[in-house]
Amino acid sequence: GLGVINIPVVVHVIYSNSNENISDAQINSQIAVLNKDFNATNGDVNQVPSEFAGRVADSDFNFTLDQVIRVSSSRTSWGTNDAMKSSANGGSDVVSPATHLNMWVCNIGGGILGYAQFPGGSASTDGVVVSPQFFGTTGFVSAPFNGGRTMTHEVGHWANLRHIWGDGRCKRDDFVTDTPSSDAPNYGCPSYPTVNCRSNDMTMNYMDYVDDACMYMFSEGQKSRMRAIFAPGGARASFLG
């Protein structure tokens, strides 16, 4: 196997006020959440119902904070067209995307928590974007998305995971066999069982749309799908040198 996959992280903080210029402590709190969630050492993993407990994955990723870049801007919302990834637009240019996960923390606006680029896209825009109030667990954070799970979800996309319901009706797949079929996202904090497509939804999966406190697992199938792109020939093989 590949062993532990080490992911050095570059955080670009783009701010128009002092709240958005998040602290180093807030940044470190986000890295800590990633290291728990991608190793199944998160404190809430024991809430996984027994039906799914055998599918909980320790994905074996290790995230380290490599660099923080801070950029002051008069722009108060950035949308989702990647403008924050360009210094020519007042944002901050990507750093070493072949070997580093780039995270842009800036106010996206429009009620959007975050977004990600899948593997195989343009190097100049590779990475994930999350609004500051949904990044990390301390400082300028906003419930119910103050558990750092927006970044867990976005890094899942960056590592090739689809939404658990496959972004379509029951027959649309997420290309992962051990995640049950569903027809739509779940929100809030669903009770178990939540039945759709004649099976119980894995609502507690990071790739659903539930509140941070109600998502606490990746599946073994998702782990395989993520790790495959870091293997030789995969779109992110360059991370392993």
At its nearest, how many Å lie between Ca ion and the CB of residue 176? Answer: 5
At its nearest, how many Å lie between Ca ion and the CB of residue 229? Answer: 18
Q: Where are the alpha helices (DSSP H) in the chain?
A: 24-37, 50-53, 149-158, 220-228
CA-nearest of 84, 94, 76 to 20 is: 76
153 binds ligand ARG (CB under 6 A): yes
162 binds ligand ARG (CB under 6 A): no
CA-nearest of 164, 127, 180, 169 to 10 is: 127
Residue nearest to ligand ARG (CB): 150
114 binds ligand ARG (CB under 6 A): yes
Q: In angstroms, rounded to a whole number, what is the distance separating the alpha carbons of residues 191 and 170? A: 20
**How many C-beta atoms lie closer than 10 Å to residue 25's C-beta?**
11
At its nearest, how many Å lie between ligand ARG and the CB of residue 145? Answer: 5
**Binding partner of residue 154 among ligand ARG, Ca ion, none, CB cut-off 5 to 8 Å per kind:** ligand ARG
**Which of the residues 76 through 105 are near ligand ARG (CB under 6 A)?**
none
150 binds ligand ARG (CB under 6 A): yes
CB 130 within 8 A of CB 152: no
Q: Which one among 2, 75, 115, 190 touches ligand ARG, defined by CB under 6 A?
A: 115
Q: Which one among 60, 138, 189, 209 touches ligand ARG, defined by CB under 6 A?
A: 209
- Beta strands (DSSP E) in the chain are 5-15, 61-72, 101-105, 114-116, 128-130, 195-196, 199-200
Q: Which residues bind Ca ion (CB under 5 A)?
A: 174, 176, 179
Catalytically active residues are 154
